[in-house]
Amino acid sequence: MLPVIVYGILAFLLGFFIYFTYQFRAMEKKAESNEMPEEKTSVFSGFYGYAYAGVLLVIVMILFATWMFVKGTPWEGHLMEWMNIVVRLMHITFGIAWIGASFYFVFLENALNRTEDVRDELAGNLWAVHGGGFYYLEKYKVAPKTIPKHLHWFKYEAYFTWLSGFSLLFVVYYFNAKAQLIDTNILNVSSLTAISIGIGSFIVAWIIYDLLCKSPLIKYKVAFTIIGFVLATGFAYFYTHVFSARAAYIHFGAMIGTLMAGNVFFVIIPSQKAMVNAAKRGVPPDGTLGKKALARSLHNNYFTLPVLFVMVSNHFPSTFGFDYPWAVLAAITLGTAGVKHYLNLKEQGKYTVWVLPISVIILLAVSFVTAPAKNPDACKEEVKFTDVQHIIQQRCMTCHSSKPTDDIFTAPPNGVVYDTPNDIVKLKDKIMQRVVITKTMPQNNKTGITPEERNIIRCWIEQGAKVE
């Protein structure tokens, strides 16, 4: 009876917000077409945004309620997998739109023609060709004399990227905190404590970063970059000493993503709104607002490649499985940001002989340093498959079987099962990478596999992975 009542209330709220989404949008269009006073346009636009946010909030509540109702049942694993797919797809889609817009507008800023046939009111212009058409773009130094009625705002890409990413953090790590987030070998805390630390760290990171941007240090780019990198490395070190290594990497990416979204929500969009409102009132806009917004936009541009790396890192345990995962994270952050710096300089027509090579060397050095040792322990005796199968049955098959017995995973993660000898043999390379080299499986060593057992598996694989 309770599920029916809850879903009934949520369905009513969803319909309510959807209805008013259409109503406020219709009112906004009337205001834009001068059927209503112009000052009401922004009011209806704001109501429309709140109604749309209400729709998203109710959808999140429906998903959470569904998870609560199926928790502990065979449906839990199935629901979590589909939530992972759907939310991840949304996150990737919005992220592509946001990062694509960031890359494009920074390219425009770098590639503007600022000298030839440029009117006094313009900062520059650019001719471009794409998709069989020619485009001509102009950037004003501050704002045009008359603000156009239809002005596109680039903001929802950022907001929905952050919201979908935050939701994905819950789906993958917070709903299964004991399995994915917490590694008792690193720090034994409750799920609530670990989640609070994760979310709280994003708030602390934003406060520190925002104060840094508002300090006189912002005028000194090199010093600002060095201090910013040191602080980022500190957060990487902190995360890897609180969470499991894989979760630490994702939280580092989420922290940077929060800074990026915060830049858009607290600085870039408010600055743009202030300039637009001033131009509409006939008051000269404050040009310093545009410069501050541009600076934060450039910061976001440099953040993109490190964030993209983190988004894919959880698929590559050779990164977070290293003995010093925070150092790998810091080095790759520096290297990828360096690559972006080179591309930005190239777009400006500035060529350097050291930025790209040094960035590539840093990234290659990470690959070299994290390479596993060759034959660390000699295999003195031939290992029988039955010995390996016994270890896998005891340490791995609680999760990786067609019928898992784990208290968290009710379906085999990523569809990986070791039910038959053939299942084990065909996945020997993945077992070698995850169980032996990076030691990232079992997850947080939940089943207590020993170094001796890992070595037995290594020897069996190096001896040809024979079943006989």
Nearest CA-CA partner of 427 in 419, 85, 399, 394: 419
pLDDT for 272-286, tens place per residue? 989 888 888 888 888
Report the alpha-carbon distance of residue 406 to residue 412 in Å, rounded.
Answer: 10
Answer whether residue 47 shows pLDDT above 80.
Answer: no
Report the alpha-carbon distance of residue 244 to residue 392 in Å, rounded.
Answer: 22
Residue 376 banded pLDDT, cuts 50, 70, 90: low
Token pair recorded at residue 87: 């939310």
Report whether 258 contacts 202 (CB < 8 A).
yes
pLDDT for 9-27, tens place per residue? 999 998 888 887 777 667 6
Quote the pLDDT of residue 297.
95
DSSP state string for 175-236: TTIIIII--TTT----HHHHHHHHHHHHHHHHHHHHHHHHSGGGG-HHHHHHHHHHHHHHHH
Answer whether residue 30 shows pLDDT above 70.
Answer: no
pLDDT for 399-414, tens place per residue? 898 888 887 777 788 7
pLDDT for 122-164, tens place per residue? 999 999 999 999 999 999 998 888 888 778 888 889 998 998 9
- Any long-range contacts for 183-188 (C-beta under 8 Å, 24+ apart)? 183/243, 183/244, 183/245, 183/247, 183/444, 183/445, 184/444, 185/444, 185/445, 186/240, 186/241, 186/242, 186/243, 186/244, 187/241, 187/242, 187/243
Quote the pLDDT of residue 318.
84
Write the DSSP symbol of residue 370.
T
